[in-house]
Amino acid sequence: MKVITVREKILKANSQAARENRARFSRKRIFVINILGSPGAGKTSLLERFAQTGGIAFSVMEGDPETALDAERMEKAGASVVQIITKGSCHLDANMVQAALPRSDLDGKDFLFVENVGNLLCPASFDLGEHIRIVVLSTTEGADKPFKYPAAFKTAQSVILNKTDLLPYIDFDLDLFNRGVAQVTPKAKVFSVSCRTGEGIDELVEWIKKLKK
């Protein structure tokens, strides 16, 4: 007897679509970054900063349970963007990305940033066909998150600590955060940024530019 749980089936179907997406991205020579993080961590703010800073030719896919508010922000920032509204689903899957691709403007772009639904749990289980993942954590969320949500951090090639401008005003345990990253995702490249002040953004942009060879 073979028992396959619903979750296994879903993930299997997702892997197939993710493979197709990855093949398509390679053909188009586009490097895809899946951005994970809690609601309010600063995922969209980071993308706004990338648009302002320049130097990266990119397109954006926004994932949200409702509204096109983030796509409106990206448009205002001058980026080409497609909004995926998941109608309450708490993560993007590879099929949603595949369905949105024909509407995505990838011509002349080097990168596609896929901003996942704000959630540190299940987005980690769904391969979208991306090349790498980055996870954005803001100082206001607390330093223990790498320990509490290891799946999201483990699969990320970079951890971006945002809202560093607030550090003097809050009790964020930097030492605990560093220990969490070292234990859960020791190979991840860590960046400290403030999307509000722009601190640390240039260094991050330089790192991203080098990802696509």
CB of 96 to Zn ion, least distance (A): 11
For residue 147, the tally of other CB atoms under 10 A from its CB is 15
Cβ-Cβ contacts under 8 Å for 79 (sequence gap 6 or more): 47, 50, 51, 58, 59, 60
Residues 31-50: x where in contact with Mg ion by CB under 5 A, - otherwise, as a string: ------------xx------
CB of 12 to Zn ion, least distance (A): 17
**Binding residues for Mg ion restricted to 129-158, rule: CB under 5 A:** none
Q: Taken in order 105, 111, 117, 122, is the CA torsion positive or negative? A: positive
192 binds Mg ion (CB under 5 A): no
Q: Which is nearer to Mg ion, 44 or 162 (CB)?
A: 44
Which among Zn ion, Mg ion, none contacts residue 70 (Cβ within 5 to 8 A by kind)?
A: Mg ion
Q: Which does 141 bind (CB under 5 to 8 A by kind): Mg ion, Zn ion, none?
A: none
Q: Which residues contact 70 (CB under 8 A, 6 or more apart)?
A: 44, 62, 64, 83, 115
CB of residue 141 vs Zn ion: minimum separation in angstroms?
A: 18
> Of 30, 202, 185, 55, which Cα lies nearest the Cα of 114?
30
Is the distance from CB of 120 to CB of 149 less than 8 angstroms?
Answer: yes
Bridge partners (DSSP) listed for residue 36: 135
Residue 145: which of Mg ion, Zn ion, none does it interact with, CB under 5 to 8 A by kind?
Answer: none
Q: Which residue's CB atom is positioned nearest to Mg ion?
A: 44
For Mg ion, the binding residues (CB under 5 A) are: 43-44, 70
